[in-house]
Chains A and B, each alone.
Chain A
Amino acid sequence: MRTRTATLPQTISPYHLGQRNRERLLNALAYGLLVLAIIVIFFPLAWMVTVSVRPNIEVMKMPPDWIPQVFTLQGYEKIFSNKKFLVVFLNTMMVSLMVTGLSLVLGAMAAYALARFKFIGQRAVLMFLITTQMFPLVLLCIPYFRIFITLGLYDTRTSLVIVYLTFTLPFCILMLRSYFLNIPRDIEEAAMVDGCSRLGAIFRTLIPMSYPAFIGAGLYTFLLAWNEFLFAVVLIESWENRVLTMAIYSLMAEFVTEWNTMMAFSVLASLPLVIAFIFLQRFMVQGMTAGALTS
């Protein structure tokens, strides 16, 4: 006779003890494996940080010193003393913020239309939006290159802001739409009965209520824009317009052996996202999940 052990917490039967011990063993195993996984997966990141604080000669040592023998901030000094890098950080920040702002505003408008109205072509629009997320971006490079040269926008940060919308806007629309769908429309209607205009109702009820979706979509958009590389390679030529990813790549050619500088730069390039993530983890995970499960 088997009974559910969970309902008999006081019973001390051999079976119960066995179950308990087995569960304990499994949990201990889970903790152990997770800690091991964290160590293995974190190793490259830890290595990036330790190399960034070593003198460069030490990096080339074979076999390597696992712990830095000499601590130095040379790499960081080189970056902070060179104006070029500041420009790159500012460019990336500006482009990413612009893209995020535009995607959220235009995305929220489109998402509202898709969530609140029934209209001709709605299915087609949705299908189009889902397809655009799957687009091979390298396909777009050649036409973009030609178009922006013709428009005189080649090698400008504006061109980056525009093209980044191709992959951030569909995501924002779909994510905000699914969030808006979950907010009952009665609330807006009540606001309109109380004398709000439609826009007033949107700004007073819908938008404040869906702030988690805005933070999630905004963060994810910011991440995509901050990390984008392909278009930055194709559309930007001069240093003053360069963004981080592109700068890191050209560093490899320029300072081919200065690994501590490169790793210092990599740490600095990753820091804003990691910090944002620490504080807004919940929304970020939501955004990540929503990107794929559009329902």
Chain B
Amino acid sequence: MTVLHTGAPPSRLVTAHKPANLSRTGGRSGIGRWTMLSLRRRYREEILAYSFLWPALLILVALLIYPLVDVIRLSFHDSNLQRETWVGFGNYAALLQDPLFWRSFGQTVIFTVFSVVLHLAIGLALALLLNMQINDTFRTLARGLLIVPWLLAPTVAGMIWVLMLAPFGVFNGLLVSVGVIDANASVSWLGDPSTALGSVTAMNVWRAFPFFMVMLLAGLQAVPKQLYEAAEIDGASLPRQFWHITLPQLRGVITTIVLLDSIWSFRAFDPVFVMTGGGPAHASEVLASAIYFDGFQKLRFGYASAEAVVMFVVLFTVSAIYVRRTMSNVS
């Protein structure tokens, strides 16, 4: 009896006795009214579920699956939107030989690794501090204040950092005040190829660490207190407690958020686009900004699509790991 776990005995009774339902299916040709009724009954769950699901599913398929297919198709064409010519794997071949593509790929990896590692380090440190025996009001207040960078739009955060990193900005001002550099020799952090990518990464670290902090704090609060009490009885020092209790207990949360953040950082567009536009001389170009510039400025839509497909393949691999982990939790 598949109907049972809808757990709706009253409505089942109603359906069985309602003449209206019989007459609605009755007149159809081919399948007799009773067959139709039992079919309806057997697939009742499915029909009901999909009648709730279809608007969302339709929108998501139209907005995600169709564009994905379209971008794959386009990656085999040479296109400037006016006309399209089939070039087979031409775009991919050109891509693999393009030093700029490899450069932006490498810089995306650097940006991602540094972002994720620093997010984790800062997030964990602050989560541990917030989890200590401190005043509850102070904890809530501190957590609230520390989340604020995460509320800002990446564009706003980027703008603040552009101002701070400018030759006349506070970073240089600070360095001048402590006497590290001369007032006339201030650094253009975003204009110098050797510091541009690092500056953009720093902004991204500042803006997004609260996500890690909040998630890890939630994880820490779920660790059973008895574990620490037991460790204390055994005379385990704080570092040992951290290493043998806290970290193993947080492993699940850490893996999840590291996977998520890797995906988010790998596809990041706003910080680079707002702060440097990929410059100077591509020194801070990442994949997402390269795709944008190739497509919408150089109007090489086929080539940009090929880049996007490569990016998709990389992200899909990471997503697959994440989805497998999450799905095993779900069911």
Contact = CB atoms under 8 A, between A and B. Distances in A.
Interface of A: 2, 4, 6, 23, 26-27, 30-31, 33-34, 37-38, 41-42, 44-45, 47-48, 51, 59-64, 106-107, 109-110, 112-114, 116-120, 122-123, 125-132, 134-147, 162-163, 165-166, 169-170, 173, 185-186, 189, 192-193, 198, 223, 226-227, 229-230, 233-234, 244-245, 248-249, 252, 259, 262-263, 266, 269-270, 273-274, 277-278, 281, 284-285, 288-289, 292-295
A251 B256 CA distance: 38
A198 B173 CA distance: 65
A61 B263 contact: no
Contacts of B53: 109-110, 113-114, 125
A265 B291 CA distance: 29
Given A4-B233, A165-B59, A132 B64 contact: yes
Given A138-B292, A165-B59, A266 B322 contact: no
B189 interface: no
Given A2-B233, A113-B52, A136-B311, A47 B288 contact: no
Contacts of A6: 229
A110 B206 contact: no
B155 interface: yes
Nearest to A195: B10
Given A44-B161, A130-B326, A146-B70, A110 B52 contact: yes
Given A34-B130, A245-B155, A294 B330 contact: yes
Interface of B: 2, 5-8, 10-11, 45-46, 48-50, 52-53, 55-57, 59-60, 63-64, 66-68, 70-71, 74, 81, 126, 129-130, 132-134, 138, 140, 142-149, 151-157, 159-164, 168-170, 172-173, 176-177, 183, 186, 206, 211, 214-215, 218, 229, 232-233, 235, 253, 256-257, 260, 263, 266-267, 269-270, 273-274, 287-288, 291-292, 295-296, 301, 304-305, 308-309, 311-312, 315-316, 318-319, 322-323, 326-327, 329-331
Contact of A47 (B168, B170, B311): B170
A273 B13 CA distance: 49
A186 B177 CA distance: 68
Given A185-B7, A223-B151, A274-B151, 8 more contacts: A62-B173, A110-B52, A113-B50, A138-B287, A139-B311, A165-B59, A274-B148, A285-B214
B134 A270 contact: no
Contacts of A135: 64, 315
Nearest to B269: A230
Nearest to A285: B214
A136 to B, nearest CB: 4
A277 B143 CA distance: 12
A143 B153 contact: no
Contacts, number: 298
Contact of B168 (A41, A61, A123): A61
B267 A41 contact: no
Contacts of B232: 4
Contacts of A64: 168-170, 173
A227 B270 CA distance: 10
The 8 closest A-B pairs by CB, nearest first: A143-B67, A227-B153, A113-B52, A134-B319, A117-B49, A110-B56, A119-B49, A64-B173
B163 A263 contact: yes
Contact of A134 (B7, B50, B315): B315
A105 B319 CA distance: 27
B10 A193 contact: yes
Given A2-B233, A118-B5, A192 B56 contact: no
Contact of A33 (B129, B214, B287): B129
A185 B2 CA distance: 17
Nearest to A197: B11
A140 B133 CA distance: 47
A259 B163 contact: yes
Contacts of A37: 126, 129, 146
Nearest to A281: B144
Contacts of B55: 106, 109-110
B243 to A, nearest CB: 17
Contact of A277 (B10, B66, B147, B318): B147
Most buried by B among A138, A147, A248, A252: A138
Nearest to B218: A289
A117 B6 contact: yes
B151 A147 contact: no
A128 B58 CA distance: 12
Nearest to B150: A288
B323 A252 contact: no
B206 to A, nearest CB: 7
A109 B52 contact: yes
Contacts of A145: 296
Given A138-B308, A185-B7, A229 B267 contact: no
Contacts of B215: 288-289, 292-293
Contacts of B229: 4, 6
Contacts of A162: 59, 63
Given A118-B45, A227-B154, A266-B160, A277 B144 contact: yes
B8 A198 contact: yes
B151 A292 contact: no
Nearest to B156: A266
Contacts of B161: 44
A192 B156 contact: no
Given A34-B142, A138-B288, A229 B270 contact: yes
Given A142-B305, A270-B156, A292-B215, A278 B144 contact: yes
Contacts of A51: 163
Contacts of A252: 159, 162, 274
